[in-house]
Amino acid sequence: MSLKDLLPVGTYEKLSKEVGHHSLTDKHLIACPICGKKTVYSQANKYRPFCSLRCKYIDLGAWANNERSISDEIGKDDDA
């Protein structure tokens, strides 16, 4: 299966223009942090780094439910 087959219709052509003379390859693909599906990390993917709006909302919901947080360890040395 080629990269063109993995992308929505028209996306491959749009991305090819974005990367210019460089060839569009699998190195432009990343795994969605939620479902693991291969997705393009590019400005053409409006949900990046996620593969879809669904995965983006799942991540947002996790933050809203305090399932994710930023460590308190950041900045502890600043108070000293």
pLDDT values of the chain reduced to their tens digit, one per residue, 80 residues: 666 776 777 777 777 666 655 555 666 788 999 999 988 888 878 899 999 999 999 999 999 998 888 877 766 655 55
Q: Does residue 77 fall inside a structural domain?
A: no
CATH of the domain at 52: 3.30.50.10
Q: Does residue 76 fall inside a structural domain?
A: no
Q: What is the pTM of this model?
A: 0.58
Tokens at residue 5, please? 């087959």
Using alpha carbons, list the distances in angstroms from residue 32 to 39, 46, 54, 64, 66. 6, 13, 11, 20, 21
Q: Which domain holds residue 17?
A: 3-69
